[in-house]
Amino acid sequence: METTHLHRESPPARTGALTTAAAAVAGLALAGAGASGIAFDIVGGIMAGIAAVTGESGVVDLGFDPPMAAARAAALAAGTTLLVTAVRRRRRARGACSRCGRRPDNGAADNGAAGHGGRDDAGRTSPAGGGRETWQRLSVRAGYLTVLLAAGYGALKVQWGLGGTVGLTDPRAFGDVHLWTPGLGDTGVLALIGMALGLGFARTWRPPLRMPRWMPLTAASVGSVMLVPVGVLGTGQRVAVALGLAQPSLEGVSPWVFDVIYPWFLTWGLAMGTAAAGYHYRTRGVCRACGRGRPAFVRDTGAGVPAAREGAGTTTL
């Protein structure tokens, strides 16, 4: 009679899984603690610099504490490092490349072989379609959503800087302000950057606008880290106000602005992150560690055969 043996996970494997999980949890905790105030540190630093140049005070006093800003940045960096370490350990445990996450069994799909679903790294659709194609469509739409959300926020701040009163219960709530007043025009510029990033991620622009891919991806990461925590905390505060658990601090601003702007920030940050992730997967090209994948962009040689674009390490936005 045959005996079926149950293969249990070995103690070293369990220890490795627990170590990976612990690193992920610690990374999330540190990154969350660092991200919780990083938006105010960045915007507060920008406003402090503008105030020093123009001599004007900002529309709000965010303050800027360099030691606390440095501590939050360090926590965010340490948490991100732990998360990346955990992801790479998990990939190795699954037999995938720790750098790109590709596995040998899906290497053919990444290199454009027929019969595998979705899109390849360059965004071309393989015959089978599938979930990867759905993900790519979602990320492109998230890019356009990022453009709309950034434009809406920028328009609100710029019209305040130009003397507009939309969203104000007191027309003089901010006193005498100008477009260059800290907290108005500068945030409008940040919104413009967000619009450019969203459009670039959605369209995957080609030359002559060329830049290393890490630049837009880093900018989008910073933007998401700024927006998502503020959106979560602000939305929670508005819920607490609605339940009578906290007192509103309106200071001449219409209540609907706060009710709208914090969920707006949350959606904007998530959309930007989704669009950036899609752009990353469309343009990551051939992995330098495992050699899987294919060039991110191809050019037509004129003979009907696409050739890999030179400079595989540089993509365009």
Question: What stretches of the chain show up as alpha helix (H) in DSSP?
Answer: 11-35, 38-54, 66-93, 107-110, 131-161, 185-203, 214-242, 255-283
Does a structural domain hold residue 2?
no
> Do 176 and 315 lie in a common domain?
yes
**Are residues 230 and 185 both part of a single domain?**
yes
Domain annotation covers residue 107: no
**Mean per-residue pLDDT for 297-312?**
43
Q: Give the pLDDT of residue 63.
A: 67
Reported for 156-163, long-range contacts at CB under 8 A and 24+ positions apart, including other chains, are 156/257, 156/261, 157/183, 157/184, 157/185, 157/187, 157/188, 157/191, 158/184, 158/185, 158/188, 160/59, 160/184, 161/185, 161/188
Choose from 7-11, 14-18, 161-165 the range with maximum mean pLDDT.
161-165
The b/e string for 280-304 (b: 16+ C-beta within 10 A; e otherwise) is: bbbbbbbbeebebbbbbbeeeeeee
Residues 174 and 31 in one domain: no
CA distance 260 to 149: 11
User: 145 with 199: CB under 8 angstroms?
Assistant: no
For the segment 164-192, the average pLDDT, to the nearest whole number, is: 81
CB 122 within 8 A of CB 282: yes
Last residue of a domain, one of 50, 83, 100: 100
Task: Answer whether residue 190 is part of any domain.
Answer: yes
Residues 76 and 153 in one domain: no
Distance in angstroms (rounded) separating the CA atoms of residues 13 and 161: 59
10 Å Cβ neighbour count for 258?
18
Top pLDDT among 52 and 222 is at 222
Are residues 42 and 139 located together in one domain of the fold?
no
Q: How confident is the model at residue 122 (pLDDT cuts 50, 70, 90)?
A: very low
pLDDT (mean) for 60-67: 72
Q: Is residue 143 part of a domain?
A: yes
Model pLDDT, residue 314: 37
> 32-36, 127-131, 309-313: lowest mean pLDDT where?
309-313
Give the integer Cα–Cα distance in Å for 126 and 287: 20
Residue 122 lies in a domain: no
Number of domains in the chain: 2
Which residue has 């490349």 as its token pair? 97
Q: What is the pLDDT of residue 13?
A: 63
Quick one: 78 and 180 in the same domain?
no
Output the six-digit token pair for 83.
């998360």
Domain of 259, in residue numbers: 131-286+310-317
Q: How many CA atoms lie within 13 A of 34 on its CB side?
A: 20
pLDDT over 60 (residue 316): no
65-79, 93-107, 178-192: segment of lowest average pLDDT: 93-107
Choice between 70 and 7, residue whose per-residue pLDDT is larger: 70
Lowest mean pLDDT among 124-128, 195-199, 291-295, 296-300: 124-128
Does the pLDDT at position 132 exceed 80? no
Last residue of a domain, one of 100, 120, 147: 100
Q: Cα separation of 258 and 18, whole Å?
A: 42
* Residue 95, domain member (yes or no): yes
User: Are residues 43 and 137 located together in one domain of the fold?
Assistant: no
211 in the same domain as 255:
yes
CA distances from 247 to 170, 187, 240, 242 (A): 19, 26, 8, 9
Q: Say how far apart CA 147 and CA 317 lie, in whole Å.
A: 15
Q: Residue 291 domain-assigned? A: no
Q: How many residues does the chain have?
A: 317
Same domain, 178 and 230: yes
Q: Say yes or no: 96 and 155 in one domain.
A: no
135 and 89, same domain (yes or no): no
pLDDT at 207: 46
Over range 170-180, report the average pLDDT.
Answer: 77
| Residue 114 domain flag | no
Query: Do residues 71 and 151 both lie within one domain?
Result: no
Average pLDDT of the residues of the chain = 76
Of 100, 116, 144, which residue is a domain's last?
100
pTM as predicted: 0.75
